[in-house]
A and B are shown apart, each in its own frame.
Chain A
Amino acid sequence: MRSLKKNFSRGIVRANPIFILLLGLCPALAVSTSLDNAVGMTGAFTFVLLAANIIVSLLREQIPDRVRIPVFIVIIATLVTIVDLMLQGFVPVLSESLGMFIPLIVVNCIILARAEAFASKNGMIDSIADAVGIGVGFGLAMLSISLVRQLFGTGSLDLFGRHLFTIPPLADNPVVFFLLPMGAFFVVGILLALFRWMGVSRSE
């Protein structure tokens, strides 16, 4: 039970995929313009990671060592395509705004890294805990980046069509910079420095 908790909480802070490991930065920066996108991306990412971890942990005794990486890649690519097709068919709005970054989950280094480093060496329950923990860590990072970008970039916050609140002076003169691609680099850089300053993560 204790190891389960450890495997779960590792991905949230101590080994946060985005802020600590700096893996999977591409989707984090590209689709973090709104909270909707952040939630959608986290959902797709966590589903693929969870399913890949489960399948790999169940097959870990059977997969021949020599072809394990190609096998992992095929499993992940299949899962990603399933998510991609499902989103296109049933949530077209989300599919359109996330665009290419759904199929690109396949080259997200975190998923292959977890399959190789964790799921192929641990049982199913531990692998589920690991995947959910990393999913939550990824989600928290995505939400904090997109919160800052949407708030400063538009002056108001919306989530799935529901209006949360508006900051009037900011809504009249939104800081468009935050919605630009460069704004993403800036926000992640500042947040990263902030977490280090607060002692959440170590400096280099």
Chain B
Amino acid sequence: MTQKNGFLPVLFLTAVVFVSVVALIATDAITREPIAAARRAAIYRRLQSLFPTMDDFAYDEESGLYTPFSEGDPLGLAFMAYTRGFGGTIAILVGLAADRTLRGIEIVSHRETPGLGARIAEPAFRDLFIGIEIDDIALSRDGGAIDGITAATISVEAVVEGVREAVSARLKHFE
């Protein structure tokens, strides 16, 4: 490498940045479609575990509501609920059937402790939400339908609270 002064270094750096931008725009053009498809597929999988008969879904950006369809008929609604757990935000996908019962929940992301709070993501806990009435979204000690998990009280309370608040906020869409 030789020591040169003047504009050459600046020009060289500009050229490198230019090549970099071109390379990235090309990569973006190749990957844009697959990335969008991969994101949609991930949402599709999660919705399908709540609505097994689903074959298509629509998303309304303004209200944040997902509407799953089976052969063109809407099956209910799904939406995200965010709540603060033990280690950070817990993101939950909530499924609501047309008859105002829950179709279940999916834990999309969480930072709870493995083996303790993280058990909220296991089917044994998630399945407790399937088929219950909206009014029953509470811990069993408060007269609801959800049994807690030992040593995971904060995480469990956060999920129950988050789901209940999100559901009651969305109820108006059913009227």
Contact = CB atoms under 8 A, between A and B. Distances in A.
B20 A63 contact: no
B13 A70 contact: yes
B153 interface: no
A85 B31 contact: yes
**Residue from A77, A82, A179 with most neighbouring chain B CB atoms (10 Å):** A82
B169 interface: no
B124 interface: no
A1 interface: no
A174 B10 CA distance: 57
B55 interface: no
A61 B27 contact: no
A90 interface: yes
A74 B31 contact: no
Contacts of B39: 92
B12 A88 contact: no
Contacts of A167: none
10 contacts: A64-B2, A64-B4, A64-B9, A67-B13, A77-B20, A82-B23, A85-B28, A88-B31, A89-B34, A92-B38
Interface of A: 60-68, 70-71, 74-75, 77-78, 81-82, 85-86, 88-90, 92, 96, 120, 153, 174, 176, 179-180
Interface of B: 1-5, 8-10, 12-13, 16-17, 20, 23-24, 27-28, 30-35, 38-39, 41-42, 113-116
